[in-house]
Amino acid sequence: MTPLPTARLLQLVPLLAALATAAHAAPLQVSSGGRNSLGPSLSADGSRLAFYSASDLTGGNADNNFEVFLYDRGPAQMRQISNLPGGQFAGGNQTPSLSGDGGRLVFQHFESSGGYSYYQTQSYDLASNTLTTLTPLGYFESSAISRDGRVIAVSTGNLGVRLYDTSTQTFSGVVMPAVDVSMSGDGSRLAYASFSQSVRLLDVTSDTTTIVSPAGGGYNQNPVLSADGNSIAFVSSFDPLGQNGDGNAELFRYDVPTQTLIQVTHTGGASASLSASISGDGSRIAFSSSADLTGGNADGNYEVFVYDLLAGSFQQLTDTLGGVFSGDAQLSEDGLTLAYVSNMNINGGNPYGGIQVFMDTLAPQVGRALPEPATLALVLGTLALLPALRRAR
């Protein structure tokens, strides 16, 4: 069979993308059991997923502490990374961040005593199985990690953010009060929400700060920085562009090179958008929302959506009924894998209604470079397979 001209094949790309969206396969349920699993974090290519769970997923968490787990998608293998003995009230480990190369984890260890919890940040090298404690027990902490795992940003209470170099095992650099810290892939830029509720971007090399969204009149939260350092997504109830007069929690995107801010969602009533995540080049944003952004969420559940900047369109990834929610969506750097949490019960895999971690695969974006099919048969074969990929509702 004579190969189709490239121009003709390109005309089929929008059709293929639309059909792939409509015939989206069911997500993979990664965690299970009657306990909650939370905080997914993906490697750059989506092959590894870190999260924390109180379930006994590998036989090593019988006391049901919150512990950190790693899931390898290729071999479908689960691994328990942390293990704090003493039962649920002794403490645990939580909020892991996985480096883009999938080789290092950073997470928060906590111990409880006298009604209080004390936190410290720990790092785990997955190749050497080496655990390193970065900070002493103390205030609440959060962290972010660079693509190669060399630089770790640690935010300690209201004391500020410091940068830890895993190669020299020393702290240096930034000291500033911050919450919700996010790091570029090379560690040269930090996006964060200040204690005054403004979103800011710090260039670590030049020590210059850009105010992305000022404080006052509402709140800004969960700023996330793309791996290339050029895009920030965040949720805000502010009205910086005159498009959010009702003060709903809306999704915004800031383009660093052009210093341009756009409002991505425009909801009404009691709807809200939460917890954004962004692909490495900033062209896709995943988030949860109770709004009906695509015509598929009339019941107002919190569902997972993906906004495609290239297409200017939304895709609804989950579709649940009352009493069920989905959120904390996390995109891989390549924008092709999505992880999130939900208490939905697909095919009987979550009978107790616990919060579980799921993984999903996204179709390539229209306009991206795609492998050129050799023949029309390959294109038609792809179309023939799509009905088999339908999502289980």
Tens digits of residue pLDDT in 186-201: 999 999 998 888 899 9
What does the alpha-carbon distance between residue 121 and residue 227 come to, in Å, rounded to a whole number?
A: 22
pLDDT by residue (tens digit) across 90-122?
899 999 999 999 999 999 999 998 889 999 999
More confident site: 25 or 188:
188
Helices (H) and strands (E) in the chain, counts: 2, 28
pLDDT greater than 50 at residue 253: yes
The count of other CB atoms within 10 Å of the CB of residue 217 is 12
Q: Look at residue 385 in the predicted model and tell me its pLDDT.
A: 40
Q: Where in the chain is the domain with CATH 2.120.10.30?
A: 26-176
Q: Please report which confidence band the pLDDT of residue 379 belongs to, taking 50, 70 and 90 as the band edges.
A: very low
Q: Look at residue 11 in the predicted model and tell me its pLDDT.
A: 52
What does the alpha-carbon distance between residue 325 and residue 331 come to, in Å, rounded to a whole number?
A: 18
Domain 26-176 has CATH 3.90.190.20: no
Average pLDDT over residues 31-54: 98
Helix (H) or strand (E) holding 277: strand 273-278
DSSP 167: T
Q: Which two tokens stand for residue 205?
A: 């090399």
Contacting residues for 22 by C-beta, under 8 A, at least 6 apart: 386
Residue 277 forms beta bridges with which residues? 286
Residue 142 burial class via C-beta count within 10 angstroms: exposed 0-12, middle 13-18, buried 19 and up: buried
What is the average pLDDT score of the chain?
A: 88
The count of other CB atoms within 10 Å of the CB of residue 243 is 12
Which pairs with CB-CB distance under 8 Å and at least 24 residues apart come from 139-143? 141/108, 142/95, 142/108, 142/179, 142/180, 142/181, 143/95, 143/97, 143/106, 143/107, 143/108, 143/181
Q: Which two tokens stand for residue 8?
A: 């003709």
pLDDT greater than 60 at residue 371: no
What does the alpha-carbon distance between residue 36 and residue 49 come to, in Å, rounded to a whole number?
A: 16
The whole-angstrom distance between residue 257's C-alpha and the CA centroid of its chain comes to: 23
Q: Please report which confidence band the pLDDT of residue 143 belongs to, taking 50, 70 and 90 as the band edges.
A: very high
pLDDT greater than 80 at residue 351: yes
pLDDT greater than 60 at residue 34: yes
pLDDT by residue (tens digit) across 289-345?
999 999 999 999 999 999 999 999 999 999 998 889 999 999 999 999 999 999 999
Q: Look at residue 218 in the predicted model and tell me its pLDDT.
A: 73
Q: What percent of the chain has pLDDT over 70?
A: 87
What does the alpha-carbon distance between residue 104 and residue 383 come to, in Å, rounded to a whole number?
A: 39
In angstroms and rounded to an integer, the radius of gyration of the C-alpha atoms of the chain is 21
